[in-house]
Structure 1
C-alpha cells in the first residue's frame, strides 16, 4: 500500500504502469468522473509522482512500477528490451528483493 487511500493507490499504479499522467486516461481506466481523476493527479503532483500540468498535455511521470512485484518508486529499476509480445517491461534491479516482495 502506497497511501491510506486505496483508490489513490490504484491511480498511482495505473499511471506508473502506463507512464501516462492524464486525467482522461485515469477517468477511463478507473471509470470515474474526469474531475475526480484530476484531483488524483493533483494529489500525485504534491507527492512528486507526476510533474506539473502543462495545459492539455499529459503530465510527466516520475516513477516506475515493477511488473513482477508491483513496487512503485523512482530508483532501482531497469527497462528490458522491448519485444512484440510484452512490449517494454520495467523490473527491479535487485531480483532477490523483488522475489521477496511477491
Structure 2
C-alpha cells in the first residue's frame, strides 16, 4: 500500500460496435515524485504524471470527490500478453490536497 496523489480518473464502458461484447476500461491518473538524481551534479525534483489500469468499481468509489486527493492505493503486478503491468486492486481516500499558497 502506498500513498498517491490522484489527479483524475477515466472510465469508458459500453458495448463494442464491432463484436457486441461489453467493455470496461478504467485509468487512474496520479502524480508521483521523481527519483533523486544519481549524481550530485544532476537535477531531479518535483513530480511526474503516471497512470494505472483500474477496475470500474474502484474508480466509482472516488469519482465524486474533488481532485486532487491523496489516497492509499494497493497495487499488484500482473503479466498480460508477456508484459508486466501494475494494476490497482483497492483505493482508500485519505485527504484532499490543499492548494499551494
Shorter-chain TM-score: which interval? under 0.3
Larger radius of gyration between Structure 1 and Structure 2: 2
Larger RCO: Structure 1 or Structure 2 (Cα < 8 Å, ≥ 6 residues apart)? 2
TM-score (norm 2): 0.27
TM-score (norm 1): 0.27
Higher helix proportion: 1
